[in-house]
Each structure stands twice: as structure tokens, then as C-alpha cells.
Amino acid sequence: MTRTAAVPLEPTPEALTNPVRRYLLATRPAFLSITLAGCLLGFATAPGFDWGLALLTLLLALFAHAGVNVLNDYYDHLNGTDAANTQRLFPFTGGSRFIQNGVLTPLQMLAWGLILFGAVIAGGLWLIGARGVGLFWIGLAGLVIGWAYSAPPLRLNSRGLGEACVAAGFLLIVAGADFVQRGEFAPLPWLAGLPYALLVTNILYINQFPDREADALAGKRHWVVRLAPATAARGYALILALAALTLVGLCLAGALPKAALIALAGMLPGLGAARALAQHATAPAQLAPAIQATIAAAHLHAVLLAALLTLF
């Protein structure tokens, strides 16, 4: 098969001789910006703002997300799903390919993921001392979810709980960012973060369509594997509708200002993605634009809602 300029090249040892660049790219940094969006939303729900605490919060959240990405690659190597994935849409699905292409060994990936988690724990302990013990429970829940998502014996994504893990994990990012600024728990970040968390869940959901056959072979029994493709495609539209209805309900109930309804505009790319998925659920090679639109919807909504909450 001939590559074109529109198709990103997979990583190779020859292209990544610089060890710093190699380990950085192993974290899939292009996809960490969704965590930045969640932190911005959490900062916007808090009544005050401290730049130093915000930067440390963001750094630790990015390290946590990066560690989850690296460990997910390691455990997907162990269960064989990435090696068997011939329908992947790189760089969106099928993992980073660092292990499969010989850029890093499985042991190096495991060690790198644990180092990243260790950095999160060290920085998190300082933040807990500075801002309150409640942050301990947010951080602990986030790390446990990130590990249990793909690691045995729980392997929650293989048991149909991956979507719940993603929704909970990214909701914790919003709540954690708010807690660091506020110094205590409050309902607002949990409520405001719900639509964002659901939109991020749809990123996982649509990404599972190109990986469906490989995941089934590896015993990853998530919902896209369990359901027929046409039926599973409706799940994406359902999650998108739930995100929109949640935002509308929060505004009507007075939990969010009415101006927050403008953030519905950020979800619009998801409508096109839902239509494309319905048309191409059995043709995963056609789904790259829909995946990009799904990623855009999650980012746009979170950033727009953060801006609106800051203004109103």
C-alpha cells in the first residue's frame, strides 16, 4: 500500500533516535489537549484563580493522562489487540505502535508509565497538603480508573465498562481542577463537567469501531464489539444527545447560567460525526473525519463553556 502525505507515518526506531523525543511521543501528546480543556473548565467553575496552582494542576493532569496512554499501550500489547489490529486508523486508533514497531520495548513502556504515575503521586501529595485531603480521593479515583481501564485483572474496558471509566475519569479532571482552586468540594464542577465528560466518552466510543475486529479477537468485550455495528452506531448519537440534554437541563434548572446554552454550539461537529458513523459503521476506513469531528466537539464545548462561565 502506498502512503500519501495525508496519512501520518507510524513511529520507527530510525525516525526517533532522540530518546527525549521518543519518550515524549510515546505519551501521544497530540491527544493530551482534551485534558487541558477539562482543566480550563474546572478553573472556570472555581470562584478564585491562582496561576501557580493552576499550572501545577495542569501539569499533573497531563502526566496522569500520559501515563494512562502509555500503560494502555503496554496492556494492549499483552492482550494482543494492537498486534492484531490491521484496520487501525493511525494515529487515532490502534495504539501508539511504539511496541509493535520496535521503538520501545514492553518493559520500557511499562516503566515509563509507572514513572509518570509516580510523578503524579509525588506532585499530588504536595497539592493535598496545600489544598486539602479531599483532593486525595479525587486523585486516587483517577489513578485507579486509569489503571483498571486496561490492566488485569479488572480490564474494565473489556467488560463493557470502558465508557463509564472515561466519563468518570474526565469528570474527575474538572472536579480536581476546581478543588485545587476552591480548596473544598462543590457541586458546580461535577454538574458543569458532565456534558464534557460525555463528549470525551464519544471519542473512545467511535475509536472502537476501527479496532472492533482486533478487540474481539483479544477478548475485549466492549459495547462496540457486543453489538452489531449498525446498532452500536446508535450509541454514539445517544451519548451525544445525553450530553446536549444534560447541558439544557442544567441551564433550565438554574445550575448553570442561561448563557451556557451557547456551549451547545461546540457540540455541533458531533452531529456530522453521528451521521458519518451511521453510514460507515461497517467501513472503519471511512471514519477518520468523524473521529476528528468528535475530538473537535469535546474540545470546543469545554473551551466555550469555560469562557462563558468566566464571563457570566
pLDDT at 171 > cutoff 70: yes
Q: What is the pLDDT of residues 90-109, one digit of tens each?
A: 999 999 999 999 999 999 99
Average pLDDT of the segment spanning 30-40: 97
Using 50, 70 and 90 to split pLDDT, how confident is the model at 7?
low
Residues 201 and 174: beta-carbon distance below 8 Å: no
Q: What is the pLDDT of residues 204-242, one digit of tens each?
A: 999 999 999 999 999 999 999 999 999 999 999 999 999
Q: How many residues can be counted in the chain?
A: 312
Q: Return phi, psi of residue 16, to 5°.
A: -125, 65
Using 50, 70 and 90 to split pLDDT, how confident is the model at 5?
very low
Average pLDDT of the segment spanning 28-47: 97
**What's the number of CA atoms in the CB half-sphere (13 Å) around residue 294?**
28
Angle between helices 187-207 and 288-311 (to 10 degrees): 170
Using 50, 70 and 90 to split pLDDT, how confident is the model at 2?
very low
pLDDT at 165 > cutoff 60: yes
User: What CA–CA distance (Å, rounded) separates 232 from 286?
Assistant: 16
Nearest in space to 197 (alpha carbons), one of 67, 93, 302: 302
Average pLDDT of the segment spanning 178-182: 98
pLDDT at 3 > cutoff 50: no
User: What CA–CA distance (Å, rounded) separates 278 from 287?
Assistant: 10
Cell 451521521 belongs to: 275
Average pLDDT of the segment spanning 128-136: 96
pLDDT at 4 > cutoff 70: no
Q: Is 15 exposed, middle or buried (0-12, 13-18, 19+ CB in 10 A)?
A: middle
Return the pLDDT at 8.
79
Average pLDDT of the segment spanning 18-29: 97
pTM of the model: 0.96
Return the pLDDT at 23.
98
